[in-house]
Structure 1
Amino acid sequence: MATGGGARGLGAVLLLLSAVPVALLLALERRKTGGGSLEYRSLGWVRESLQWDADSARFLVSTFFDGGVSEIAPQPTPAREKPFLLDPELAGNSSLGIALDPPRRRLLVVYGDPLRHRSSLLAAYDLASRRRLFLAPLAGAASLADDVAVAPDGAAFVTDAASPRIWKLSPAGALLSTISSPLFRPRPGRLRDLVGLNGVVHHPSGFLLVIHTGAGVLFRVDVETEDVAVVPVAGGPLLLGDGLALLSPSRLVVAAGVPSARLVESSDGWATAAVTRSYYGPLHRIAASAAVKDGRVFLQHLLGAGSHVITEATFSP
């Protein structure tokens, strides 16, 4: 049996050993989050979708299981998460994808039930007053509304990660149609069935780019004809692709697991594409979404225990 002094010594050794992995993770994170990256004190464990609100010089982020939206101002430092929006009528739902609609100064928020897939909704809020402008129920059982994109005219497009489809809504929140295709169902498999359609962006030429997370497939969707085509991606598949952001009409950022983000480029209007660069951030954090600020790419990482990071993606070949 150890003496009191020996026990204390053993305890100190065990504490030191347990701190080594944490120290390594912190050292790795410091090395990976230079430049314009932002660490902020958060109010929860999971943070998902990221948007840059240029008019108010702040990031907006969905708080996932907490069911709201927070704001993070880059200055002053250290940055802190500040609650921005919490809709009491939607308590019990998770907030997933968010999208800014700058011409109408409003924020669109996707709500769903990621554990039981019992509800899918889209809400719009006035950015100044935070007043809810509309609430659109999309589907009930076996659905998971995930991400949203906004067209210049205010129409919204919401992906369903559980049953592969895209809901199209009017600027006022009326459900106009449901876009579906056999192409949205790649051959089955455990990974492919885990998460389906996820990140979505509206291209200036009038079509959608949509990622299937489990299969790593990129789709081009005509919003008028609702025709769906697979975009062959050289250097793909884009496995675990999550949030999307357009860096330019010919360059798309795909937030993912490993690498943290890929830069995908097309020279033929997204009939085909190729992965040209990658960014490896703090891998234990898991990149979930991307936003463009002043021509630079920033990633929101999913996990954190009171501390989260928004990293600036520095791409390399």
Structure 2
Amino acid sequence: MKNTILITAFSILFMACDTEKKSGTTPASLQSNYTITDIGLYPEGIDYDSKNEKFVFSSMYKGAVYVMSTKGVTAVFATSPKLVLPTGVYTDEARNRLIVANADLGISQKSTSNSAGTIATVSIFNLSSGALIKEIELKNFTPSAGSCPNDIAVDNTGNIYITDSFSPNIYKIDGNYTASLFATSNLFQPAANQFGLNGIVFHPDGYLLAVKTDDSKLFKILLSNPAVITEVKGIAFSAPDGIELDKNNNLVVVENGLGLGKTYTFSSKDNWASASKISETAIGKDEFPTTAALASDGNVYVIHSKLGELLAGDKTQSSYTIQKID
């Protein structure tokens, strides 16, 4: 990937990722807000592990995955030599695995002078211990083009789906950890030097929903026929990042700091041919919200990444928030 593309893309958007799982049967007692105190953390992806009752989030700068307990205690949970710039994280409780998308945009402390654009992988960790299970290579699908694995969805049978923000692709990783190109389309093609596909969720009715950042669109992709891709009508937002299904299967869209820094919740009465807004929550541009997670208490929580500061070259931010949205 050309460095000029990477540098330009930084000024346009940052990532997303995350989940679409329903809450556990024994909800934990969660606070409305949590503060993460760690210099240079810059968290991006977030999910909630309802099996072990903890938040899981990625650090784009430190190249590791962290956990926070319901009491607010934070610790490093998972890492590997290949994990340079983790983006989306997904806690697959049914299979006791943590799935992490990984790239290199040249801004991680693990990046080197020539490493930007050379990494596109998915790491699988044990959800209970953080032990590395498998790392899957995706860069072979874009040998002469840019690649940035971003967000993650998992269907009912355990297949994994990964968006690529720099190429018009959604990848599939099956139960044997074999990767394939699930869907590719001109509809997913990012504009020159911009981010394309971002957040993705699996809907229990048998399709994927994914946002595209550069033109602020939401797409529906059939699992049974991935060539059938339709744009969801009736929605409005800018710079969409992560998306999440709430406990009622409404869709929460996180608009990052390149937009207004809000979350929007949409509902659909026609199987996501169209949708309408039912609520919104102001987070703030400077907070730069990125992704959201459905917790075991039935509420959705969004993470404040402060990524605007990192993209501007500041590595000294030390306070970040996980906030329950209305």
The letter for the 2-side match of 1:171 is G
The residue number in structure 2 matching 1:288 is 290
* Count of residue pairs brought into register by the alignment: 270
Structure 2, gaps ≥5 residues long: 1-30, 107-115, 308-316
Q: Could you say which residue in structure 1 is the equivalent of 2:82?
A: 90
CA gap of 1:311–1:129, structure 2 versus 1, over 3 A, is closer
Opposite residue 76 of structure 2, the aligned amino acid is P
Does 2:77 correspond to 1:69? no
Which protein is bigger by CA-based radius of gyration? 1
Partner of 1:290, secondary structure, is: strand
Name the CA shift for 1:312/1:129 in 2 (closer, same or farther; >3 Å).
closer
Of stretches 102-111 and 259-268 in structure 1, the one that deviates more from structure 2 is 259-268
Structure 2 counterpart of 1:84, which letter?
A: F
Please name the residue that 2:243 is paired with.
244
Deviation at 1:235, TM superposition (A): 4.1
Of the structure 1 ranges 137-146 and 262-271, higher mean CA displacement relative to structure 2 is found in: 137-146
Per-residue deviation at 1:250? 4.0
2:322 alignment partner in structure 1: 310
| TM-score, scaled relative to structure 1 | 0.80
SS in 1 for 2:238: coil
Structure 1 runs, 4 residues or longer, greater than 6 Å off: none
* Paired residues of 2:169 and 2:181 also in contact (CA < 8 A): no
Secondary structure of the residue aligned to 2:77 is strand
Q: CA deviation at 1:74?
A: 2.7
Residues 261 and 282 of structure 2 are in contact (CA less than 8 Å); yes or no, is this contact kept in structure 1? yes
Q: 1:99 to 1:279 in 2, by over 3 A?
A: same
**Where do residues 87-126 of structure 1 align in structure 2 (5 Å cutoff)?**
87=80, 89-91=81-83, 93-115=84-106, 116-126=116-126
CA distance in 2, matches of 1:155, 1:73: 28
Q: Letter of the aligned partner of 2:94 in structure 1?
A: P
1:80 CA drift (Å): 4.2
- What SS does the aligned partner of 2:51 have? helix
Letter in 2 for 1:302: S
CA distance in 2, matches of 1:306, 1:229: 41
Residue 301 (str. 1) matches residue 304 (str. 2): yes
| Cα drift, residue 234 of structure 1 | 1.9
1:56 paired residue number: 52
SS at match of 1:263: strand
Indicate which of 180, 184, 201 corresponds to 1:176.
Answer: 180
Distance 2:70 2:247 in 1: 24
Report the Cα distance in structure 1 between the residues aligned to 2:74 and 2:40, rounded to whole angstroms: 10
Q: Which residue of 2 aligns with 1:153?
A: 157
Mapped to 2, the partners of 1:277 and 1:210 lie a distance apart of 20
CA deviation string 1:138-184 (max 9, x = no partner)? 01551111111111211100000001110011023101333111211
Q: How well do the aligned residues superpose, as a CA RMSD in angstroms?
A: 1.9
For the 8 Å contact 2:103–2:120, the answer to whether it is kept is yes
1:135-214 correspondence runs (5 A): 135-139=135-139, 140=143, 141-185=145-189, 188=191, 193-214=193-214
1:64, CA displacement in angstroms? Answer: 1.2
* 1:36 aligned partner: 32
Mapped partners of 1:246, 1:156: distance in 2: 17
CA deviations over 1:182-208 (Å, ceiling 9, x no partner): 21137x47xxx4211010011101110
Shift of 1:249: 5.7
Match of 1:81 in 2: 74
Report the AA paired with residue 163 of structure 2.
Answer: T
Query: Which amino acid in structure 1 is aligned with residue 225 of structure 2?
Result: T
Q: Distance in 1 between matches of 2:162 and 2:176?
A: 14
More helix by share: 1
Give the conservation status (yes or no) of the 8 Å contact 1:43–1:81: no
User: Aligned letter for 2:323?
Assistant: T
Distance 1:135 1:152 in 2: 22
| Percentage identity across paired residues of the two chains | 25
Q: Render the CA deviation track for 1:26-47: whole Å, top value 9, x for unaligned.
A: xxxxxxxxx7011121242410
Note the C-alpha offset of 1:233.
3.3
Query: In 1, are the aligned partners of 2:235 and 2:275 still within 8 Å (CA)?
Result: no
Determine the structure 2 residue equivalent to 1:5: none
Deviations 1:56-104 (A, max 9, x none): 12100011121110011131xxx343111111x315x211101111111
Q: Is the 8 A contact 2:32 2:323 kept in 1?
A: yes
Q: Could you tell me whether the CA contact under 8 Å between 1:117 and 1:162 is conserved in 2?
A: no
Q: Which residue of 1 aligns with 2:270?
A: 268
* Aligned equivalents of 1:43, 1:111: Cα separation in 2: 21
